[in-house]
Structure 1
Amino acid sequence: MNRVITDYKKENRRAIIKAIILRVLCYSFLCFVSVMCIFFFYLLLVNTTRANNDLQGGRFTLMLSRFFNQNFKNLFSKFKTDFDALKGFRASFVIAFSSAVLTCYFSALTAYGIYAYDFKGKRLMEAFILAIMMIPPQLSSVGFFQMASKYGLKNNWWMLILPSIAAPSIFFYMIQYLRATLPKDLIESSRIDGSNEFMTFNRVVLPIMKPALAVQMIFAFVGSWNNLYMPSLLLSDSEKKTLPVMINALQRTSWGNIDLGCVYMAIFLSILPVVIVYLFLSRFIIKGVTAGSVKG
């Protein structure tokens, strides 16, 4: 009997030691990743405080300098034609916010339709939508640009907002969330109570999907805010350009005339709103990730 107890204690001790080692390794890795992420943001902040000559000299440093205010003033004086912050922020916010809202709503609506109804070709339709994720958007950009030019839709924000509604990756997340959290009996009960399909979706399903919607709105907003490829193709009017397009114009200046301090300052200002939004809404990401596993 004593031998059995001794063996059990040894096995239990080994399991505890193994769990501690795994936890230490896991936390060490997460700390390393966190430090690396924070390091590059800090390096960007450092470069916004350095003089242009110092940056072009290629000297590396982690110490803050004293040229932050000067770079800020130069950005809005010397490069005002290429970088109009207010117009850029307005364009980026309108496009990113509209895209995020419409993308999440219609992706959730599509996911609900496929989840709630049984019809012929349902699996094929879902597979087709997911297969679109494998097609890079660059393949259709030439045809899209030609269509926009033909119908006079260049320099139109709607040409960047409406195509983003079709988002297979967000649809995939939404339908997985519905399968994990929404019982079909709830939909049937709503129908029995006399609710039509849109009322059921808007009043019953959407409130349940709030964590998923919040998560995907953050990702969709950030993705649209940072988008450079399509806006650079469609937006040539300085009144309509987004922040990434303006920053790209700064970087395309000849090397002798480029002010790297201003470039880093522009990048810093462009990502600052995204960082702030993420910090305030990050709790929704945790809820969205864990809700399905808790309720499922």
Structure 2
Amino acid sequence: GLSAMPSTHLFDNYGILEGRGLNLLRGFTNSLFVATFSTVLAVYFSLMTAYGIVVYNFRGKRFFTSFVILLVLIPLQLSIIGFYQFMSRIGLTDNYASLILPVIASAGAVFFGKQYFESVVVHDLIDAGRVDGAGEFGIFHRIMMPIAVPGAVTLGIFAFAAAWNNFFNAFILISSIEKYTLPMLVQLMRGDVYRTEYGAIYLGLAVTIVPIIIIYLIFSRYIVNGIAMGAVKE
């Protein structure tokens, strides 16, 4: 039957993982490092790009917006070979930078930020900031970012979950087992041909979903508000 308390097999399963050389703590730390930096960069640069699209008029604005939408529709798998070759050429394979840097140009995050800013941007506040002598970066950081907190938190939750669960990129770009993220370690728990330790696998899966649940419980009140405001264009 089901029990709220873990059984003694919990430590047995953890021992199985340790016996196979799979360090869950190290994988957890690696995933947390990648997901944290990816989230911060994705939220900041995506919102800055989206703010520029919404607020400023420039030549090729409509084409750039359409190009962002097109990038959202293109599967990651279509570009992974070229991306791997580029990372190899600049010496960033088997490096966390190859997992973190691409989120700076996350088309999906930019599109979400654009939709959100279209519903919350108040041009009178921007004009007032300019009259008071604030620079464009100052207006973005001091006026618009505080207004965009619900959207930023919502985007951050999605970005963290995507980076935390990112197996495909890590599988292609990371080769050293000490740099494996948690999803990669879970994939290694499948066992050999003759025996699969399902208890150890489920332990790894449980550890994998814990951070996502915690972050959702802490910031869930922002999600509905952020998505709802991003869906309304005034």
TM-score by length of 2: 0.92
2:189 maps to 1:255: no
In structure 2, give the amino acid aligned to 1:90. Answer: T
CA contact (8 A) 1:104 1:217 kept: yes
Shift of 1:99: 0.7
Match of residue 215 from structure 2: 277
Match of residue 113 from structure 1: 52
CA contact (8 A) 1:100 1:220 kept: yes
Bigger Rg, structure 1 or 2: 1
Give the number of equivalent residue pairs. Answer: 233
Shift of 1:151: 3.3
Match of residue 114 from structure 2: 175
Match of residue 77 from structure 1: 15
CA contact (8 A) 2:43 2:155 kept: yes
In structure 1, give the amino acid aligned to 2:16. Answer: K
Gaps of 5+ in 1: 1-62
CA contact (8 A) 2:14 2:203 kept: no
Match of residue 41 from structure 1: none
2:225 maps to 1:287: yes
Alignment of 1:99-248 (within 5 A): 99-248=38-187
CA contact (8 A) 2:99 2:169 kept: yes
CA contact (8 A) 2:151 2:230 kept: no
In structure 1, give the amino acid aligned to 2:17. Answer: F
Shift of 1:237: 1.2
CA contact (8 A) 2:27 2:185 kept: yes
Higher RCO (C-alpha under 8 Å, 6+ residues apart): 2
CA contact (8 A) 1:82 1:250 kept: no
Shift of 1:295: 9.7
Deviations 1:254-275 (A, max 9, x none): 1323211110111011101211
In structure 1, give the amino acid aligned to 2:155. Answer: Q
Shift of 1:177: 1.4
CA contact (8 A) 2:116 2:230 kept: yes
Deviations 1:70-128 (A, max 9, x none): 44223332222442111111111111111111101111100111111111111111111
Identity, in percent, stands at: 37
In structure 2, give the amino acid aligned to 1:101. Answer: V
RMSD: 2.1
| Counterpart-to-counterpart distance in 2, 1:294 and 1:132 | 22
TM-score by length of 1: 0.74
In structure 2, give the amino acid aligned to 1:236. Answer: S
Q: Taking structure 1 as reference, are residues 110 and 137 closer, same or farther at Cα in structure 2, changes over 3 Å only?
A: same
| Counterpart-to-counterpart distance in 1, 2:231 and 2:162 | 26
